Amino acid sequence: DVKVFERGAGIGGTWYWNRYPGARCDLESDSYSLSFNDEIEQEWNWTERYASQPEILRYVNFVADKLDVRGNIELNTTVTGAVFDEGTDTWTVTTDTGASARARYLVSATGILSVPSMPTFEGMDTFAGEIYHTGDWPHEGVDFTGKRVAVIGTGSSGIQSIPVIAEEAASVTVFQRTATFTVPAANRPMTENERKATKRSYKQLREQMRRSQVGVLLEPGIGNFADVDLRVVRGELERRWRGAGMSTSMVLSDNLRSIEANNYTSQFVRDKINEIVDDPAVAKLLEPHDYPIGTKRLALDTNYYDTYNRENVKLVSVRDTPIERFSPAGIVVGDTEYEFDAIVLATGFDAATGALERIQFEGVDGRTLTDAWAEGAKSYLGLAVEGFPNFFTVTGPGCPAILTNVIASIEHHVEWIADYITYMRAEGITRFEATPDAQAEWVKHVADMAAMTLYPTAASWYMGANVPGKPRVFLAYIGGLHNYRDRCDQLAADGYVGFAHASDGAPLKSEQLTVGA
Ligand code: N01
């Protein structure tokens, strides 16, 4: 018996909200899709190598209809609070519509990148034109024809939207604080033969994905920097640049552990930028130098660097001289006022913890999740939080999801949670809770693993570094989906090691609850 509350007027989460021009997935369509239902796999036809946002949203709706789950979902409903009652081992959930629900289990599926990070520039409310955020794009679309458009932010969302907006707008001015590494997506239509071949091999493909480091099949590295002939590395980088997507930065096996290896790969991309961009001064500004390649999410683009060769596109670096304020006419940087009709904020998200911390969760003794995470998010396996019994977090902080094909991680979590609930019902358990020791050990393990890599050297959203005041904690387990799955399976087989159980709650009819669709 499942009740789902969803803030949106429709389902789809990320793919419901992020409707900015050029939005598409950076993992291949046949990998970035659900694996648990043969009929869905066989009936759905992906049209492009990397699916666009509208196509993924159509897919989500196709799945919901196929599985007939819409009846369980209450749309247009924002969960505001959830309080655990120790007398009955139940959660009571409250919402902004007045609807509420009581349930034995509470499952958050509120997403990793679901709360747009809104900058607070002085004078924002005085700007006479329109302001849009890529993560909350108007559903009716935006017509930029003839408009002077500013884009602030050059992460994946900026990198995808800038080339498309530039084709339509009179002019585009990009305000870049940190140059991002991006590689060509080499997107193209899928052929009927490719679709047939994938459908025939889905079973093996999915199994390989589950047993992989990142939940998707990428080309392996060819060796460590110290051991390989650099002419071979260069040749392989050139080959992968033409269409290997995420694998492009992984030619050197130690790319995320050795700064020498990483420098080599980073320089290859910088050389490419200089080959593509006509104006050497613009190319110089576009060269990323602030972090090792791969320690922030690698972007996949379509014509991003080429776009800076267009007459109507201008790049303004705000690295050394930040945006001072918005004015009625536009944006002021230093002594210059730039005038615009519209400003696009591609400024990212309050990732991983943002959506959860906006709900007033009260666990044991009335302690809130915000208090529990005041010094940084802590969780056991990214699935449960000490002090918050009967509460599961799908893709919670400390699980591998951020660094993987998120669909593969979500499927693992959902299956594991369902198995655990089945186990508890069979055992007559009415309450589970992560133990303090298990959580502390996991948090330390996640941090130790991250410290073995270059990841913590980047001021990334993986570290919470993009949100002013957010504690800097590496929010993902880098040990790989395969190892994580093994660990979760083993502790389940051993009787759910690391969880405390009790069996004294009052019996409930309604037992499961999910927030987020
Ligand atoms: O957000 P981001 P995003 N003044 O945080 C800049 C996924 N995704 O929405 O780096 C000036 O990466 C900020 O600058 P800096 C993917 O996982 C996937 O682009 O903080 N600039 C940065 O350039 C991705 O990693 C897909 O110095 C300011 C940008 O805004 C994640 O979502 C597509 C600023 C934010 O970049 C987030 O990507 C899109 C300020 N005050 C997204 N504040 C695909 O599947 C922020 N910035 C392809």
Edge to edge, the sheet with strand 148-152 lists 130-133, 342-345, 148-152, 171-176, 313-317
Instruction: Give the atom of ligand 1 at the shortest distance from the alpha carbon of 23.
Output: 33
In angstroms, the CA 405 to CA 127 distance is 39
Residue nearest to atom 3 of ligand 1 (CA): 348
Please give the Cα distance from 84 to 107 (Å, whole number): 13
* 395 Rama class: left (phi>0) / alpha (psi -120 to 50) / beta: left
Q: Give the atom of ligand 1 at the shortest distance from the alpha carbon of 119.
A: 41
> pLDDT (tens digit, 9 = 90+) per residue, 312-357?
999 999 999 999 999 999 999 999 999 999 999 999 999 999 999 9
Cα of 488 vs centre of ligand 1, distance in Å, is 31
pLDDT at 206: 97
Residues of the chain with pLDDT under 70: 506-517
- pLDDT given for residue 514 in this prediction: 58
Is the separation of the CB atoms in 298 and 181 below 8 Å?
yes
DSSP string for residues in 123-175: TGGG-SSEEEEGGG--TT----BT-EEEEE--SHHHHHHHHHHHHHBSEEEEE
pTM score > 0.85 for this model? yes
* pLDDT on residue 366: 96
> Residue 228 C-alpha to ligand 1 middle, in angstroms?
34
96 CA distance to ligand 1 middle (Å): 29
Residue pointed to by tokens 């900026």? 158
Nearest CA to ligand 1 atom 26: 156
pLDDT score, position 302: 98
Model confidence over 26-66: pLDDT tens digits?
999 999 999 999 999 999 999 999 999 999 999 999 999 99
Name residues contacting ligand 1 (CB within 6 A).
25-26, 113, 119, 134, 152-158, 160, 175, 177-178, 297, 300, 318, 323, 346-349, 461, 466
Q: Which atom of ligand 1 is nearest to the CA of 178?
A: 27
Probe residue for ligand 1, chosen from 347, 460, 461, 475 as the CB with the greatest number of ligand atoms within 8 Å = 347
Measured in angstroms, how far is the CA atom of residue 140 from the centroid of ligand 1? 23
CA of 156 to the centre of ligand 1 (A): 6
Mutation to probe ligand 1, out of 115, 154, 156 (largest number of atoms < 8 A from CB): 156
